[in-house]
Structure formats: structure tokens, C-alpha cells
Amino acid sequence: PLRRVVIPKDKENMLALRAKAERGGRLRYPHRFFLVRYLENLRQNDQEISRKY
């Protein structure tokens, strides 16, 4: 089991949908490569999302 990144619910849902789309629409636990890239995207996207919400 992977450790979950704690995110406020609305952010979490939005990022989950984005990550799902990036993986070709398959909702699966990402293996380590995707997890690393996902966490990097989280840091970048967090600022954008904070401005929107």
C-alpha cells in the first residue's frame, strides 16, 4: 500500500481526475515512476489550484 498524500478534498478530487487522465483513463495505483512524477506535479499544481480556489 502506498502512503497517501494528504490534500484537501476538492484539490484531491481534481488532481485525482487529472492524474487518471494522464495515465490514459485507467484508475490504478501508479507504480513508483508515476508516483514520483505525480508528486512533482502536485508541488507545481498546488500554486495554480490555490489561486483558482
Residue 33's pLDDT is: 66
| Total domains, the chain | 1
> Domain of 42?
9-52
Please give the Cα distance from 37 to 25 (Å, whole number): 16
pLDDT reported for residue 43 = 76
* pTM: predicted TM-score of the whole model, two decimal places: 0.28
pLDDT at 31: 60
From CA 33, how far away is CA 31, in angstroms rounded?
6
Q: Residues 1-53: pLDDT tens digits? A: 566 655 556 666 777 777 776 666 555 554 666 677 777 777 777 767 666 65
Residue 4 domain-assigned? no
pLDDT of residue 16: 74
Q: Is residue 44 part of a domain?
A: yes
36 within a domain of the structure (yes/no):
yes
List own/partner pairs for 27-31 with CB under 8 A and 24 or more apart. 29/2
HEC assignment per residue over the chain: CCCCCCCCHHHHHHHHHHHHHHCCCCCCCCCHHHHHHHHHHHHHHHHHHHHHC
